[in-house]
Structure 1
Amino acid sequence: MAPEQMAKGGTRLKPGLAACNLHHWMLNHQEIIENNKLYFCTLGGFLIYKLTGRHACHITNAAPTGFVDLTKLAWNPDIICAVGCADFIFPDILHEHEVCGYFSSSYGNIPVFPDIGDHQASVYGALGGLEEMAVISGGTAGIVSVVSKESTPGDHENRPYFNHCYLKTVTQLPGGRNLDVLIDFIEDIGKSIYDVSRNREDIWRSVTSTILNTTNNDNISDVLQVELGFFQGQQGVKHGRIDDIRPGNFTVGSLFMAAYENMADIYITALHKLTGSTVPIKKIILTGGSIHDNLFMKETIQKRSGIETIPSIVQNQELAGLLQLASKINSEHG
């Protein structure tokens, strides 16, 4: 599959795509393929089919499979044939405002709408439906996203969004799992050197307190340099290492401060890739467990980007996004 074909889908070729996994599955299940009528479903699309009998899905869940041509908002027959799925029956691609069908219940016929991608729902919930903001998510992995009215080429993904917009995104950035590598080291010191075992929540609380004490110490002038490239395939960082160790600066506080600063720089670099000179960003919204309540991270991103940075005011952004979409659709349908 040529890069220009993948670019039409707004994503890059990677092992996690449904297109890759399905191709591998087909190589080992020829007897099933030859003897059955096969339907390709997203998970949400399968539930829609069971509830309504309609074979359909939303564009935000269709695109991540690798089979979509975003320029046409339709399935890409070239990639489907390349993978070997020409005989599969693919679902109708619907927009969020379209009714897939109705579920018959004791309460009457309940309209069923398309399945919404979790990333898009989370961004929608964090932004409250507004634009001119960026969302930086520091979950297990880091993600930086901005809403754009057009799909543009570049070192990023163009994911479908709502209201005919796109979600320009850089994924697989360092996040919580990278910081966990450092926590694992501290935990191992406690067990192997001091024969002391503490749960990870207690360790994190102590680390947070240590960072606060370090930032308040005027004598701390030589902070370590940390690169968080601990895992293969991560974006925005190449190496995992600790540099510039000097007498007095190799402390827990300096270690984590340097790690957070590296993470902030990676996120800001990714944001610049997404915005360029075309997408004005007035505010950065932080989500995800590793940065949402992290005051040091918030202040570092704001200082280095020059953009107001605040934690998301809602929890469970995915559910908040679905609720806001449902409310909007309900008002439009009366």
Structure 2
Amino acid sequence: MRYIAIDVGSTFLKAGQLDVQNLAITHMESIRMPEPLPNENPLRKEWNAIQLLELMKGLIDRQLASCPGCKGIWITTQMHGFIITDEYGVADTPYISWQDERGLEYADKLGTSYFSALMDRVGEKAWRRTGLWEKPGVAAVGLFHMLQQADLGLEIKRERQGKACAASMNDIQTLDSKRLCTLGGYLIQSLTGSHVCHITNAAPTGLVDVRAGKWDKDIVSAVGCQALQFPRIVVGIDSVGHYHSRWGGVPVYPDIGDHQASVLGSLADAKNEAIVNMGTAGWISRVSDAYRIGEWELRPYFEGRYLPTITKLPGGRNMAVLVRFIADVGQSIYGITLTEDTLWERLLAEADSFSQKFLAGERQAGKGQLHVHVGFYGGQTGTDSGAIDCINGDNLQVGGLFAAAMEEIAAIYERNLYVLATAGEAIRRITFSGGVMMKNAFLRDAIAKAVGIEAVMAPERDEVFLGLLRLALVSEGLYASVEETREVLLQKLHANNKGA
């Protein structure tokens, strides 16, 4: 009994098969996410929605060809973004992602940025119901920007049938025939005709009352998009329709937020573990049985639980700034080009060597260590500037630079883990997940040492697929809850490791 799983991330689109009998993930396939549409405005991050749809359906069809009797299709996607389609499910806009910050643009008629104007309209009390921090990269802000620009008679470019064309936003303003879709919901609509989305992907739009599990009428009204057709929010994990493919009808399951799938796939203990994930950006999270408001985002999870989460932490893109600098030196000065993996491997080795030789001695002597402020991107949690200081005659070396940057990132995560500890029982262990953490033992050790508690790596590199496997096991009726699947998967992985 096998299911197909598809993961649409920020860097890669991946697919695989979930073998619920053998508790295995097989037939993995990965393609790189296309480049965003060209735009002179650096705040705009849009992707050709039809191109993305073709890539996603292509992955599914290739998997179906090698999965006879497929039991269903599971989907997990990046969150916060949106697409507007017509009543037939054809994209009227590009996919506008979480990386899009058009809301920060200044609006003359509002006397402030679109983002600030919307937050003022919504008010702090109402926005708290979304469980989100105030941030520009959510669908609510992008929609508000679009509709405000419609009032000004401006034009945007949209993608229809793969061809760019100019369309007045006044056309989009006839919203009663338009549908709001999450990225996963857009795929489901194309596959099944059902206009739905899962609560884990609906909530990140900033248009949902998380506790009620419903679209928030007050926020929708403040945005001005109440005439849109909103998808039905699904809270459970039952199938939402069928994909009538050349291999027959295949059940399709609701789109799961990649964050929730990752937490589930980490196999962390729901009571006293924190998950530290680092990919392009970083986040830390834990599971809570209670609806607790605090210095964190509060995201819906499974079976009535929530995820207190601290987001926008430094991640792989912060370290990549330094990697690109070293790569540029090698290419410009020495005419040497190294692959990204080779360069990372050498830089981490240099950081480890420098740390062993110099950092311990500098600490013992009370010398000022090289300090790298890693805030190379605006609006990140725990850091607000990018700089290198405390340079002395010994520490400005490649290894010193990278060791100092990772020590700084570890300190940022340590401070925020202490904040997250107040959201429930004491945190007794850390589980690391994400591609950057998988590759970067130096950073894992630095965070674990800073926090001073046990730390382990998630058992699977692509943990979102393990999370979807847990959901498939429950959907198949083999287990009553996702909690029951944790122990059996841990035993299976332990047996596999012992056998290897």
Decide which moves more: 245-254 or 66-75.
245-254
Q: Which runs of 5+ in 2 are unaligned?
A: 1-121, 151-168, 481-500
Decide which moves more: 78-87 or 29-38.
29-38
Identity of aligned residues (%): 40
- Note if 1:289 corresponds to 2:410: no
Q: Distance in 2 between matches of 1:31 and 1:239?
A: 42
Aligned counterpart, 2:448: 302
Corresponding residue to 2:466 among 316, 320, 326: 320
Aligned counterpart, 1:124: 264
Deviation at 1:32, TM superposition (A): 3.5
Aligned counterpart, 1:89: 229
Q: Distance in 2 between matches of 1:201 and 1:113?
A: 36
After TM superposition, list the pairs within 5 Å mapping 1:65-144 onto structure 2. 65-104=205-244, 110-127=250-267, 130-144=270-284
Corresponding residue to 1:18 among 136, 139, 147: 139
After TM superposition, list the pairs within 5 Å mapping 1:260-279 onto structure 2. 260-276=406-422, 278-279=424-425
Deviation at 1:277, TM superposition (A): 6.5
Deviation at 1:282, TM superposition (A): 2.2
Q: Distance in 1 between matches of 2:185 and 2:406?
A: 39
Contact 1:214 1:220 in 2 (8 A): no
Aligned counterpart, 1:150: 290
Aligned counterpart, 2:320: 180
Q: Which structure carries more relative contact order (alpha carbon 8 Å, separation 6+)?
A: 1
Aligned counterpart, 1:217: 357
Structure 1 length normalisation: TM-score? 0.91
Aligned counterpart, 2:374: 228
Matched residue count: 334
Q: Distance in 2 between matches of 1:310 and 1:6?
A: 35
Matched residue SS, 2:310 = strand
Decide which moves more: 221-230 or 194-203.
194-203
Deviation at 1:107, TM superposition (A): 6.6
Compared CA separation, residues 32 and 240, structure 1 to 2 (3 A): closer
Aligned counterpart, 2:343: 203
Paired amino acid for 1:175: G
Matched residue SS, 1:279 = coil
Paired amino acid for 1:185: F
- Note if 1:8 corresponds to 2:154: no
Compared CA separation, residues 209 and 47, structure 1 to 2 (3 A): closer
Q: Which runs of 5+ in 1 are unaligned?
A: none
Decide which moves more: 170-179 or 103-112.
103-112
Q: Distance in 1 between matches of 2:226 and 2:277?
A: 37
Deviation at 1:220, TM superposition (A): 4.0
Deviation at 1:75, TM superposition (A): 0.6
What stretches of structure 1 move > 6 A for 4+ residues in a row?
Answer: none
| Superposed CA RMSD | 2.3
Paired amino acid for 2:126: Q
Matched residue SS, 2:395 = coil
- Note if 1:242 corresponds to 2:388: yes
Structure 2 length normalisation: TM-score? 0.62
Compared CA separation, residues 35 and 76, structure 1 to 2 (3 A): closer
